[in-house]
Chains A and B, each alone.
Chain A
């Protein structure tokens, strides 16, 4: 699925070069559940953003199938993210003035789906994660666990092949974290989604079929 080759990302911060990723090469197979671990500043998030087509690498390439992601134009890259990737973020990032069902419909807007189909799909997704009765709630009316579940439903809006999750349990207590990990595991095992998850938690990492470790921008495992 993903073929990452010689990926290097260097930032300039206060006239100093910061090497977020150094010559990282790896393959991620379709249907795998990969966790990325490592200390803060080791490059985990940069790797995730690179896979999602959100950060242009300084060197190297990210291939999805036969497509070199960063050879795509800006609009094609957006389309790639919209159709192929579903993002789940630590801070949920729900749009505060939209209801749960509207938040889930957000990725469907650019793909031009019309009529009642998007709403039906969004309601189905909310039902799948156990929030059918909260579809008209605003994010502030939901608990943090419910907000993260809405975010997962949003990530699934366009039936993406891949879910990229950045510390999805970082803001949750252990029982809620387990619920979210169960959902992600279910998506991986029963719905064929490839999951790449950045985490600090050994408990979360234990759910993976493969674990990657980063230190100072280098892949050490």
Chain B
């Protein structure tokens, strides 16, 4: 092996490894804490996001002036806006818009009883629209990137199912789905015939009780509803299933830019909780990162300072035999870089193993190693090491070589 600056550094580290442990430990533990917290946080956020996505649509696009006191009835009897807005959102390709459902809702009388008629566009029609094909948002791809497929989800609780507004796959122009209250009041069952605004529909589904205003709704095809109500090409709202992490990253603002003359709202308590949780986690991680960088830098700086002091005579000798400042800089920088690399790799390994082993017990989460964190670990470890080392290195290069003449 060629004799280089690296040889000298490695030899010094190996020969004096006991003294290096404290310096390396500071970087390793700091990085391990960051990696472990980040691993748990990321999985935790994904789990929360999935659970929230299971609740269905969480963003509603309404006309300006709509009352949003109750998310579930906000679309009833509001002014309308063009159905073409759906395509505007689709063509904008906003990340986090996982599914959309345009609706037209009006109160009508059926058999002398007041019910809410809601026109919906089934998923198969949304997917077959040319503009959706052009934007690549077809069929199953409408499912959330961060939300699990509803069909595959077998672990939903009863409450989850109640709260969920399922995507309607297909709906013919003569079909009607009725809510549980409507079915009870009008004595309807699957297969019953029902006259609405002069046309006869067949009940193809009686929906289970949800405990919301949806129990008092009847659902027909959107375009059928537009014809019945005489407002073709208009809708009263668009429900969007937004990925919660994207919502916290400003999805609502981007939607408002695309549709400036609408009112865009969320299921406030749920989304706000998620945003607050995400923000809190991000802040905690940032505070920890800053503390760890400061403590780590101080610790590595302390070690490097002691190392330079201990090696004053050696450095003086090197300067005497013709090493320039740049060589001294390079000698200690190499050491700092090696410490950073070692601390980053060890910290990543310790942090990941800790998260994988402790995650299930402490957080109830199954954690998988994230390779991306290795690169971040190396970057942060190098930052800690260089930040802590720069002043001792600066001092080392300025040692007076006359020190070699002093008696030991």
Interface residues of A, Cβ cutoff 8 Å to B: 45, 49, 52, 54-55, 74-75, 78-83, 85-87, 89, 91, 93, 95-98, 102, 105-107, 109-111, 114-115, 118-119, 154-155, 157-158, 166
B317 touches A93 (CB 8 A): yes
Instruction: Tell me the bound Cα distance from A102 to B10 in angstroms.
Output: 13
- B residues within 8 A CB of A78? 319, 322-325, 327
Determine if B267 is an interface residue (Cβ-Cβ < 8 Å).
no
Taking A45-B405, A89-B405, A109-B327 as given, write out 10 further A-B residue pairs in contact, using a Cβ cutoff of 8 Å, ordered by the A residue number: A49-B402, A49-B405, A54-B319, A80-B322, A81-B322, A97-B14, A98-B8, A109-B3, A111-B322, A119-B3
Instruction: Tell me the bound Cα distance from A91 to B317 in angstroms.
Output: 11
B322 touches A158 (CB 8 A): yes
Determine if B313 is an interface residue (Cβ-Cβ < 8 Å).
yes
- A residues within 8 A CB of B16? 97
22 A–B pairs (Cβ distance < 8 Å), ordered by A? A74-B325, A75-B325, A78-B319, A78-B323, A80-B322, A81-B321, A81-B322, A82-B321, A83-B322, A89-B317, A91-B404, A93-B404, A95-B8, A95-B314, A97-B15, A105-B3, A109-B327, A110-B323, A110-B327, A115-B2, A119-B3, A154-B321
- A residues within 8 A CB of B5? 109
A10 smallest CB distance to B (angstroms) = 15
Question: B2 is contacted by which of A79, A97, A110, A114 (Cβ under 8 Å)?
Answer: A114
Interface string of B300-341 (1 = CB under 8 A from A): 000000000000011011111111111100000000000000
Determine if B111 is an interface residue (Cβ-Cβ < 8 Å).
no
- A residues within 8 A CB of B316? 93
Interface residues of B, Cβ cutoff 8 Å to A: 2-5, 7-8, 11-12, 14-16, 313-314, 316-327, 401-402, 404-405, 407-408
A79 touches B327 (CB 8 A): no
The 8 A-B pairs with the shortest beta carbon distances in the complex, nearest first, are A82-B322, A97-B15, A78-B324, A93-B317, A81-B322, A107-B321, A75-B324, A105-B3
Instruction: Tell me the bound Cα distance from A83 to B321 in angstroms.
Output: 9
A154 smallest CB distance to B (angstroms) = 7
Most chain A beta-carbon neighbours within 10 Å: one of B7, B318, B324, B325: B324
Nearest residue in A to B407 (C-beta to C-beta)? Answer: A91
Task: Tally inter-chain residue pairs, CB-CB below 8 A.
Answer: 88
Nearest residue in B to A91 (C-beta to C-beta)? Answer: B408
B16 smallest CB distance to A (angstroms) = 7
Instruction: Tell me the bound Cα distance from A79 to B327 in angstroms.
Output: 11
Interface residues of chain B: helix, strand, loop or mixed (majority): helix
B15 touches A79 (CB 8 A): no
A55 touches B402 (CB 8 A): yes
- B residues within 8 A CB of A93? 313-314, 316-317, 320, 404
B208 smallest CB distance to A (angstroms) = 77
B324 touches A106 (CB 8 A): no
Instruction: Tell me the bound Cα distance from A106 to B12 in angstroms.
Output: 14
Nearest residue in A to B323 (C-beta to C-beta)? Answer: A110
A120 smallest CB distance to B (angstroms) = 12
- A residues within 8 A CB of B402? 49, 54-55
- A residues within 8 A CB of B325? 74-75, 78
Instruction: Tell me the bound Cα distance from A45 to B401 in angstroms.
Output: 13
Given A78-B323, A154-B321, A97 and B405 touching (CB < 8 A)?
Answer: no
Instruction: Tell me the bound Cα distance from A105 to B105 in angstroms.
Output: 87
- B residues within 8 A CB of A102? 3, 7-8, 11
Instruction: Tell me the bound Cα distance from A54 to B320 in angstroms.
Output: 7
- B residues within 8 A CB of A52? 320
Nearest residue in B to A54 (C-beta to C-beta)? Answer: B401
Most chain A beta-carbon neighbours within 10 Å: one of B12, B321, B404, B408: B321
A87 touches B320 (CB 8 A): yes
- A residues within 8 A CB of B407? 91
Given A93-B317, A109-B3, A74 and B324 touching (CB < 8 A)?
Answer: yes
A106 smallest CB distance to B (angstroms) = 6
B318 touches A81 (CB 8 A): no
Nearest residue in A to B314 (C-beta to C-beta)? Answer: A95
A79 touches B3 (CB 8 A): no
